[in-house]
Amino acid sequence: MQYSQLGNTSIKVSKICLGTMTWGQQNTQAEAFEQMDYALDQGVNFWDTAELYSVPPKAETYGATEQIIGNWFAKTGRRDEVVLASKIAGPGEFVEHIRKGKTRFNQTTIETALNQSLSRLQTDYIDLYQLHWPERPTNYFGQLGFETPKESPQDLTPMAETLEALSQQVKAGKIRHIGLSNETAWATMKFIQLAKEMGLEKIVSVQNPYNLLNRSYEVGLAEISHQEHVGLLAYSPLAFGELSGKYLNNQKPDNARITLFPRFDRYQNPQAQAAIQAYYDLAQKHSLSLTQLALSYVNTRPFVTSNIIGATSMLQLEENINSIHTTLNNELLVELEQIHQKYTYPSP
């Protein structure tokens, strides 16, 4: 396994991060335990979860993933071997079941959400605590373009208050470091600026989507990662499984995410499907699986701290983790960029 430094901290995290959002819905606790055992034994010491999980979010499974991880910690006693990341949910109609929709990033809500996560996780600290998506309306979760917000700034929690609340929890020892998720370049720099001006905790990571179909992080945010030592935690590196090739030609494999949950159609437009086919053909030409190509590309980007993989089967997990050993030669990379120039931004 390869390891990266988490921001400006002394923590070393595996280049492959274990994603967990299927546990408690697509995966049973027993299957999740098997994944955790295997991943940690392979050197994957970085795990990412959220209070929202499992996915798709619903009241019946709210907090289920954190609870499964907590049960594993209690059973194995291996909490100190894991760099654990979790997230507080932001506002939105799809999270009305979380604190009755009171999901603002103020001091009271952050403290409540954090304490509930700690209880489910059966631990007294979280290594990286992230804001799952912005409180303010902006373009994230596949939304392109920017529209002038209808909400007044007075209706939102000031960023300074959010940063102070998170910093208080760091001082209390409940959080080691803080990060953002589904965030823009503007807000990332604003949080960095406020931390410097107010002497508060600096964010150490941004967890955003990044894959061969969506390289938008490279515009603006990648430079911030380099200049400010705030690396990307890349999620959806296989674009909801599309970049495994299993959905090509309208295939619908049993128990696959998009088969089960058709609402996850972000990468199913004609342009994206044409790009997937081109990348699939490229992988075949170089005797690789599309999964190996897609994951290895993310692994090797200099602004990526860790690549968050997710799997519903052990075979998938093994292939995903083994992508760390895949090398992409210069000829392949040139051809890959040619495809990117043709299908520059097929999916958000």
Q: Residues 6 or more apart from 347 whose CB is under 8 A from it? A: 142, 213, 214, 239, 266, 267, 269, 271, 272
Distance CA 63, CA 78 (A): 21
Read off the tokens for 116: 């509930």
Going from the C-alpha of 46 to that of each of 9, 29, 125, 283, 334, the distances in angstroms are: 14, 19, 15, 28, 31
**Cis (ω within 30 of 0) for the bond into 56?**
yes
The answer to whether 217 is a known catalytic residue is: no
**Which is the catalytic residue, given 3, 53, 210, 343?**
53
Q: Tokens representing 165?
A: 């609340």
For residue 319, give the H/E element and its range: helix 314-322
**What is the distance between the alpha carbons of residues 71 and 74, in angstroms, rounded to a whole number?**
5
What six digits make up the tokens of 101?
A: 């929709």
- Spatial contact of 88 and 107, defined as CB atoms under 8 Å apart: no
**Quick one: tokens of 277?**
């086919």
**Spatial separation of the C-alpha atoms in residues 287 and 270, rounded to whole Å:** 26
Instruction: With H, G, I as helix, E, B as strand and everything else as coil, classify residue 16.
Output: strand
Beta-ladder partners of 84: 47
Nearest of 304, 297, 300 to residue 283 by alpha carbon: 297
Using CA atoms, how far apart are residues 315 and 201, in angstroms rounded to an integer? 40
Phi-psi region of 28 (alpha: psi -120 to 50; beta: other; left: phi over 0): beta
Active centre residues (catalytic): 53
